[in-house]
Amino acid sequence: MKILVIYGGESSEREVSLKTGKGIYESLIKQDYNASLYDFKINQLNELIVEIGSHDLIYIALHGKDGEDGKIQALLQLLGKPYIGSDHTSSSLAINKSLTKEIANQKNIPTANFLSISNSDDLNLKLDTVNSNFSYPIIVKPNREGSSFGFSIIKEKSDLEKSVNNAFKYDKEILIEDYVKGQEFTVAILDDDGPVALPVIQIIPKNEYYDFESKYTEGGSEHVCPANIETSLEKSLKEYAINAHKALGCRHYSRVDFIVTDQMEIFMLEVNTLPGMTPTSLFPDAANAYGLNYDQLISHLIKLAKN
């Protein structure tokens, strides 16, 4: 079986994708799979289609726009080629943070109060709405971006417009959220006769929040897995994560991020349909605690995609 690992891309998460793709490729080679790497460029679709046609299975190792947003998934479905990860509908929903939060609210999965702003809106009017409906500090972030690009914690009203304009550099729609102070947790979901919640991870970043440096720099954060938490909290986090995975129609694997206050209030942050697979990534840590090392995890995902 020939497996094509599509990685790289042109989003702001390119460097992360390169590391994810390299890790997956090296694991495949070590396991004697016939694997190839392809660095994706949006203006080289014809070349990509040829590459896809000469392989039996596709591992999407892209992150962010044009990779995690359903576009590649839609192409692969049109070509009838099996691939690892959620389909184009689920991918396009999950990368859209505001839609994800709306679906979560419908399923009684708690999320922080939020407001969406488009670059076509009357900005002054929207800023007035923010100041009328939110108490500082607040969160400003792009609606369809990952790895904390364009993310800001705003503590003063005077900093709002600057942060909003910075977030618009990454997406035409941004999200304003209540700032929730608490501990960060993530729950990896792996399909195996239905979605299974892997051991909960507590994230302890060295910076104020789990930013790009904390995520991808060696020693940038501590991952406690399994998290040292009460059984009731663990159960709730896993239930919410599985429900979010199902509500968005995810398949094969996903990762659901949460923040928990000192009063044990749980707020879902977002759902990742193509979790990072770098040496510092969270999903491999959870799988390892579940009993699957990196190579076994990759092999399991391949089996899921073949079925």
CA dist 52 and 38 (Å) reads 10
Per the residue annotation, which of 33, 216, 240, 253 is the catalytic one? 216
Q: Is 218 a catalytic residue?
A: no
Q: Is 255 a catalytic residue?
A: yes
Per the residue annotation, which of 96, 98, 147, 254 is the catalytic one? 147
Partners of residue 258 on adjacent β-strands: 185, 268
Q: Is 257 a catalytic residue?
A: yes
Q: Is 23 a catalytic residue?
A: no
Per the residue annotation, which of 11, 234, 276, 294 is the catalytic one? 276
CA dist 262 and 284 (Å) reads 28
Per the residue annotation, which of 145, 184, 270, 285 is the catalytic one? 270
Per the residue annotation, which of 21, 171, 254, 255 is the catalytic one? 255
Secondary element (H or E) of residue 129:
helix 123-133
Q: Is 272 a catalytic residue?
A: yes
Per the residue annotation, which of 8, 12, 13, 98 is the catalytic one? 13
CA dist 285 and 262 (Å) reads 25
Q: Say how far residue 171 (Cα) sits from the centre of its chain.
A: 16
Q: Is 46 a catalytic residue?
A: no
Q: Is 216 a catalytic residue?
A: yes
Please choose, from the candidates 91, 81, 80, the residue with its C-alpha nearest in 3D space to the C-alpha of residue 4.
81
Per the residue annotation, which of 27, 90, 91, 272 is the catalytic one? 272
Q: Residue 238 CB: number of other CB atoms within 10 A?
A: 18
Output the CA torsion 78→50→144→166 (10° steps).
-150
CA dist 154 and 208 (Å) reads 13
Per the residue annotation, which of 83, 257, 281, 294 is the catalytic one? 257
CA dist 206 and 60 (Å) reads 30
Active centre residues (catalytic): 13, 147, 216, 255, 257, 270, 272, 276
